[in-house]
Amino acid sequence: PGHLEVKNGHLHIGGMDTVELAREYGTPLYITSEDRLRDNFGRFKKAFPDAHIYFAAKSNNNIVVQRILAREGAGADAFSDGEIYLARLAGIPPEKILFTGNSKTDAELEYAVNSGVMVSVDSHDELISLSGIASRLGKEVKIAFRVNPDVSADAHPKLATGLKTSKFGIPSQEIVSTYKKAKELPGVNPVGIHCHIGSQILEISPFAEAMSKMMDLVEAISGFIDLEFVDIGGGLGIPYQKDVRAPTPQDWADAVLPIFRERCAKLGINPELHIEPGRYITADTTILLAHVNTVKKAYKNFVGTDVGFNLLIRPAMYDSYHEVVVANKADGTAADTYTVVGPICETGDILAKDRKLPEIKKDDIIALLDAGAYGFCMSSQYVGRPRCAEVLVHEGKADLIRKRETYDDLLQNQIIPGRLL
Ligand code: LLP
């Protein structure tokens, strides 16, 4: 991608030398390109000119990232009360926030009602709770139902969400009765329908299939529901491996917009189309820099870095592939095969397996690419490691957008009972 380039043998992001940034801010370090973020969002605006883009906030919880997207016009898919809170702080108005969680608490629902956001209802129990809470507060909430469309998307098993076996959504065959029920209940106004079939989807056909199934349901409820929006979720994959062919927002739009428009015209309705991309907007905006502490020639060539699954859990959790670049030898030719590991006390703490890379030595800097989605936001302090810093680069300048944690942060919220003082 254009925001990454090699100059003087060093990897640059947004025109800035990553080796210099590592020196200035230390490692580990997440670095995000603001231009790339705006460009990625722009791709959706162009491909879906009439749709509303609800950024899946779970993919990147940095308030600055959300603020930039808010200024580009994004709404938010917020999966928890905390994400509603952050989206509001980022400047996203409540009417452009959809609370999409499953297994929501009553307290979260009350928070959502008071915030004035819309709610995607995931179960019958939730519908009853929400109706009760909103009525008690003398309010009415706009709701959608999360449908389980039973579409098989070719995603990692842990990332497929639209199968009938998954925990998400209300089965299609119960949708009509559920909307009827909602119409009778006080405090809730069913105006939307929502699905999300999975994540890191690299084929277009599941999106088309889901769109058709959603429109079947729209048809079934349109006689008695005044539909304001149809939300088809997110899930567009990205090419983590450069030789993988991945669909673009335009491919997604080309596959679903004709179905949506034709079926709406046939029904004589004019609902908004909502999409909820996360990964595609944030993933390739960001790299994660690691410092090489050791190179061990053992059963394999193990490169020991300061980044482990505490900071990037995707390889350990989903066997995900992240491209590795030796940032200070970015134009070097492959010299050997390396397995890049972290500083966590588990064998599974592997970031990249058997990669052909230039010769790696202690104190080299390694960049893990495409780390902007489900990266920092899934981090932990496991093994007593304070979380790292985040930097935003824009027009040749870098801004610290999250401080590195300190030892004090390891103690945050811990309380020592008096008798143990
Ligand atoms: N909408 C809903 C309701 C979702 O649950 C998700 C993601 C999205 C939209 C956005 O999907 P995206 O466009 O980012 O694929 N931690 C995993 C991914 C989990 C996705 C969860 N839901 C990973 O690192 O791959």
Q: DSSP states of 215-258 as a string?
A: HHHHHHHTTT----EEE----B---SSTTS----HHHHHHHHHH
pLDDT band at 330 (very low <50, low <70, confident <90, very high): very high
Atom of ligand 1 nearest to the CA of 199: 15
pLDDT of residue 164: 78
- Mutation choice for ligand 1 from 97, 170, 196, CB with most ligand atoms inside 8 A: 196
Q: Within 10 A of 413 (CB to CB), how many other CB atoms are there?
A: 5
pLDDT of residue 332: 96
Distance CA 246, CA 243 (A): 9
Which segments of 290-376 does DSSP mark as H helices, in order? 314-318
Q: Give the sign of the dihedral formed by CA 122, CA 128, CA 131, CA 132.
A: negative
Tell me the average pLDDT across 188-215: 97
Tell me the average pLDDT across 263-278: 98
Give residue 364 CA to ligand 1 midpoint distance, Å: 33
pLDDT of residue 2: 82
Tell me the average pLDDT across 88-95: 98
The tokens for 223 are 């006689």
Q: Within 10 A of 78 (CB to CB), how many other CB atoms are there?
A: 28
Give residue 62 CA to ligand 1 midpoint distance, Å: 16
pLDDT of residue 159: 73
Asked if 341 and 352 touch (Cβ cutoff 8 Å), the reply is no
**Cβ neighbours for 354, distance < 8 A, ≥ 6 positions apart:** 300, 337, 338, 339
pLDDT band at 136 (very low <50, low <70, confident <90, very high): very high
Give residue 257 CA to ligand 1 midpoint distance, Å: 21
The tokens for 152 are 């098989």
pLDDT of residue 363: 98
pLDDT of residue 156: 74
Least confident of 159-173, 267-281, 290-304, 385-399: 159-173
pLDDT tens-digit map of 137-167: 999 999 999 999 888 877 777 777 777 778 8
pLDDT of residue 392: 98
Q: What are phi and psi of 64, to 5 degrees?
A: -70, -40
pLDDT of residue 150: 84
Pocket of ligand 1 (CB under 6 A): 56, 58-59, 77, 100, 159, 196, 199-200, 233-236, 276-280, 314, 318, 373-374
Tell me the average pLDDT across 90-107: 97
Atom of ligand 1 nearest to the CA of 282: 14
Query: Quick check: 1 pLDDT over 80?
Result: no
Q: List residues with catalytic annotation.
A: 345
The CA dihedral of 211, 212, 214, 219, to the nearest 10 degrees, is: 140
**Cβ neighbours for 393, distance < 8 A, ≥ 6 positions apart:** 13, 14, 15, 16, 21, 31, 32, 33, 34, 399
Residue among 148, 137, 154 at smallest CA distance from 195:
148
Distance CA 90, CA 87 (A): 5
pLDDT of residue 377: 98
Query: Which residue's alpha carbon is nearest to atom 20 within ligand 1?
Result: 199
Length of the chain: 421
Tell me the average pLDDT across 219-230: 97
Residues of the chain with pLDDT > 70: what percent?
99
Asked if 281 and 44 touch (Cβ cutoff 8 Å), the reply is yes
pLDDT of residue 166: 84
pTM over 0.80: yes
- Mutation choice for ligand 1 from 54, 59, 122, CB with most ligand atoms inside 8 A: 59
Query: Quick check: 389 pLDDT over 80?
Result: yes
Tell me the average pLDDT across 170-190: 97
Give residue 44 CA to ligand 1 midpoint distance, Å: 16
**Is 374 annotated as a binding-site member?**
yes
Tell me the average pLDDT across 105-112: 98
Residue among 307, 342, 328 at smallest CA distance from 18:
328
Query: In whole numbers, what is the pLDDT of the chain averaged over residues?
Result: 96
Asked if 69 and 55 touch (Cβ cutoff 8 Å), the reply is yes
pLDDT of residue 314: 98
pLDDT tens-digit map of 333-364: 999 999 999 999 999 999 999 999 999 999 99
Query: Quick check: 271 pLDDT over 90?
Result: yes
